[in-house]
Amino acid sequence: MRNRKSSLATLITLMLLGSPIITFAGEVNVYSYRQPQLIQPIFDVFTKATGIAVNAVYAKKGMLERLQSEGVNSPADLVFTVDIGRLIDTVDAGLTQPVESAELTANIPASFRDPSGHWFGLTSRARIIATSVDRVKEGEITSYEELVDPKWSGRLCTRSGKHPYMVALTASVIVAHGMDAAREWLQGLKVNLARKPEGNDRAQVKAIHSGLCDIAVINHYYVAKMLADPEQVPWANAMRVVFPNQDNRGTHMNVSGVALTKHAPNRDDAIKLMEFLSSAEGQALYAEKNGEYPVSTAMGKKAGFHNPLLASWGPFSKDVTLLADIAANRAAAIRLADQVGYDF
């Protein structure tokens, strides 16, 4: 009722002000962890093509708690997150519903969607190794496993071992090598750290630029972000991009993704938006505007996808392990970080 009153009040205000009234064929309400500038332009294209308005609420944290408190009265139709962990947390809280869509199934590879249809990846991000162009030779490190080599002692920088990005990487190591090997690997990372884990991914590259460390683990799209900031361009130029594990399982990939809320009031229109974002056009827009990889590279090419920076790095082999399997090992990965005292 509150939403209807608010809409009516807005309509009356527009009439009193003499403003033109814009009508829409429908609407979708989005709760998003993604920053407005990253997805609003894509929503605008969808609205222009379909006449369906997209109303978005952005937040850095607290979205799950907000959905829980709103319950059946929540206006949210879709939740957008920036990591598989946050998607799974929303699903595990019972705040989503499954979606059956032939279009989503065809567009999004099985490794990037929930087998039960509760979440879907929209873009993929590579967890790359950043190396100093001055102090690390090209080809000197080629895998995540080599990060624990004693020659890198005191030369490695990472963010917290319990940050979702690092948790997902550790979980992928558990899936690939087993619990004991993953614990040994994480202990080896800790031994090689140049400092206590701190800061975001860009802070790790800044540390390479300043000479504090020689190697870091980051998401690939931060390179694009740094190159777009004059102050941070020297940081990006101080590092070399390495796509790990090209001779075996491939580079670990995470996703930004979407889930349909349990009580979505605009379910049909919300699914239309999901399908658009998974389409060739939607995937190309994501890649071109945000520097992220389409969940389906082939679809991106069909849509004329071209991002000069990504193209300059060339193709690479991606880990096709089901993200659902990696997500299932997140809790174990966090326990390992505690057991080895990764964050000191």
The 10s digit of each residue's pLDDT in 217-276 is 999 999 999 999 999 999 999 999 999 999 999 999 999 999 999 999 999 999 999 999
Q: For 190-194, what is the mean pLDDT? A: 98
* 300: pLDDT strictly greater than 50: yes
Query: Pick the residue with more confidence: 302 or 339?
Result: 339
Higher pLDDT, 296 or 73: 73
Residues of the chain with pLDDT > 90: what percent?
A: 74
> What is the reported pLDDT for 258?
96
Q: Is the pLDDT of residue 299 over 80?
A: no
303 — pLDDT class (breaks 50, 70, 90): low
pLDDT category of residue 86 using cuts at 50, 70 and 90: confident
Instruction: Give me the pLDDT at residue 302, please.
Output: 65
Give per-residue burial for 156-193: e unless 16+ CB within 10 Å, then b.
bbbbbbbbbbbbbbbbbbbbbeeeeebbbbbbbbbebb
pLDDT tens track for 29-55:
999 988 877 889 999 999 999 999 999
> How many H helices and E strands in the chain?
16, 9
Q: Is the confidence at residue 16, as pLDDT, over 60?
A: no
CA-wise closest residue to 158 among 104, 106, 122, 194: 194
Among all chains, which residue has been given the structure tokens 């193709």? 315
| Residue 23 confidence (pLDDT) | 52
Using the predicted structure, report yes or no on whether residue 19 has a pLDDT greater than 60: no
Q: What is the CA radius of gyration of the chain?
A: 21
Cα distances (angstroms) measured from residue 226 to each of 102, 221, 298, 314? 38, 9, 27, 19
Instruction: Provide the token pair at 26.
Output: 């429908």
- The answer, yes or no, to whether residue 22 has pLDDT greater than 60, is no
pLDDT value for 6? 43
Task: Report DSSP letters for 175-212, one per residue.
Answer: HHH-HHHHHHHHHHHHHHBSS---S-HHHHHHHHHHTS
Q: By C-alpha distance, which of 82, 115, 78, 116 is closest to 275? A: 78
Tens digit of each residue's pLDDT (9 = 90 or more) over 126-172: 999 999 999 999 999 999 999 999 999 999 999 999 999 999 999 99
Q: Whole-number mean pLDDT of the chain? A: 90
**Nearest alpha-carbon partner for 107 in 241, 295, 270, 286:** 295
Contacts of 224 (CB under 8 A, 6+ apart): 290, 291, 309
pLDDT of residue 290: 78
Query: Residue 259 in contact with residue 79, Cβ under 8 Å?
Result: yes
pLDDT for 4 equals 39
Q: Range with the lowest mean pLDDT among 23-27, 51-55, 303-307? A: 303-307
CA pair distance 291, 223, nearest whole angstrom: 9
**Residue pair 257/18 in contact by the 8 Å Cβ criterion:** no
Domains, the chain: 22-124+254-306 (3.40.190.10), 126-252+324-339 (3.40.190.10)
289 pLDDT above the threshold of 80: no
* Kind and range of the H or E run holding 57: strand 52-58
pLDDT score of 11: 35
Instruction: Name the pTM for this structure.
Output: 0.85
Average pLDDT over every residue of 90-95: 95
pLDDT-derived band of residue 197, with 50, 70 and 90 as boundaries?
A: very high
Query: Residue 20 — pLDDT band, cuts 50, 70, 90?
Result: very low
Q: Summarize the confidence of residues 328-334 as an average pLDDT.
A: 95
